[in-house]
Amino acid sequence: MKTKLLFVIPSLTSGGGERSLINLLSQIDYGVYDVDLFLINPRGLFMEFIPPEVRVLPRPKSLERYMRHLPRAVAGLAARGRFGLALRRILFSLANRAAGNDSVKEQRAWRHLAPAFPELAGSYDAAVGFLEKTSIYYCVEKVKARVKVGWIHNDYDELGMDPELDRPYFERLQHLVTVSEECASKLEQRFPEKSGRIHILYNIVSPRAIRRLAGQPLPDADVTGFQGRQGEAVRLLSIGRLHPQKAFELAIEACRLLRDRGYEIHWDVIGEGEERNALTAQIEACGLQDRFRLLGLRSNPYPYIQAADIYVQTSRFEGKSIAIDEAKILNKPIVVTDFSTAVDQIANETDGLIVGMNPEAIAAGIARLIDDPALRERLSANLAGQDLGTENEIYKFYNLLASR
């Protein structure tokens, strides 16, 4: 009999946690595991990459009605006599609109969202809340499973989470998984009672798959989009959600500094998010429309990494960036800011440069790589000599599921 396994994640829109799940699902032995996937919002860029063996569970009708636009949701629920749930929908909306930290808002909003979910039918050998907050809460309260696992993909403290809101849920998990040594250390500090149940599983990346996908051609519009100014320009690339965590406003300012110093560069960003309008305005204010592009979402980012001369990550914090790992696999010279987990991925001056978290330092690191081709070649050669595949992490995952 196969082991029954459930994964829960809010959606499969672009993001490191979402891409990490797709990579993990691609490695599972479906001769041994029967896998269900529950998406709170069943949409996203990575839906097309769900393996065919995975059964995507339907979203409950009660949740469909609850998640409609507020007036329609309240009217529809009230018409069915669900007055308590209609009130919860109003409170859920107010909780999400309140001022303050986004993570804490999501933590607090769960108590208003939870009544929209019926308990999941059946039972599982293991259930995995694959992203912090709602996914974990759902696994704890709505799923019957022998083993329950919560997955934290980011630096817990940098997310601004409230440990007291998480503690009662974490107490009901058999295991907490995170993606780097620094992230594990933060969890152990916040939840010392779980220290023996905190595990590090690195994001699964497959060099063979990445190199194969990197060989696909770029769309013509993305090749010629800088008004025909490709020429001898140095091509920079960043990947990430357009969110304050990724600090793309620092990248734009660094681009302006480099332009003002005479460097011919073209900088692309793959990603989408709530900061698009603000970043677009900053690009226009700096006169960088012909040098800095927000490309939006791309389901296959690897040809863009392959085409880049330098990969740049300007984040304020990360758990363990999949994009950095992918740039390493494609042997790209890398510049990253000195967020707390940067040293878990980059050995400074050996396989990349770690710079200060400000535009001047970012620009200086990029300029150094542009001016010193020998340094770029050395960094790339060092990466080419490393074994960067993490496919074997799947066996650590199997072992975790078998333990209590």
Q: What is the pLDDT of residue 197?
A: 94
Q: Would you say the C-alpha torsion 180, 134, 128, 40 has a positive or negative sign?
A: negative
Q: Binning pLDDT at 50, 70 and 90, where does residue 229 land? A: very low
Are the C-beta atoms of 390 and 202 separated by less than 8 Å? yes
CA–CA gap between residue 132 and residue 278 (Å, rounded):
27
Q: What is the pLDDT of residue 37?
A: 98
Q: What is the pLDDT of residue 225?
A: 52
Instruction: Decide if pLDDT at 228 tops 60.
Output: no
Residues of the chain with CATH 3.40.50.2000: 3-60+117-206+392-402, 219-384
Indicate whether 230 pLDDT > 80. no
Whole-angstrom distance, CA of residue 253 vs CA of residue 261: 13
Q: Does domain 219-384 have CATH number 3.10.450.50?
A: no
pLDDT confidence of residue 250: 98
pLDDT greater than 60 at residue 226: no
The H or E element spanning position 189 is helix 181-190
pLDDT at 274 over 60: yes
Reported as a single tens digit per residue, the pLDDT across 312-322 is 999 999 988 99
| Residue 172's pLDDT band (cuts 50, 70, 90) | very high
Give whole-number Cα distances, 323 to 74, 114, 329, 379, in Å: 41, 33, 10, 17
Q: How confident is the model at residue 311 (pLDDT cuts 50, 70, 90)?
A: very high
Query: How many percent of the chain have pLDDT more than 70?
Result: 97
Task: Give the pLDDT mean for 393-398.
Answer: 95
Distance CA 322, CA 239 (A): 10
- Report the pLDDT value the prediction gives residue 169, as an integer from 0 to 100: 97
The per-residue pLDDT for 227 is 43
| pLDDT of 231 | 57
- The topology under which CATH files domain 3-60+117-206+392-402 is Rossmann fold (3.40.50)
> Is the predicted pLDDT of residue 50 greater than 60, yes or no?
yes
Residue 299 has what pLDDT?
86
Q: Are 279 and 252 in contact (CB under 8 A)?
A: yes
- 116 DSSP 8-state letter: G
Q: What pLDDT shows up at residue 232?
A: 74
pLDDT higher than threshold 90 for residue 45:
no
SS3 37: strand
Predicted confidence (pLDDT) at residue 152 exceeds the cutoff of 90: yes
What the block records as the tokens of 374 is: 């020998």
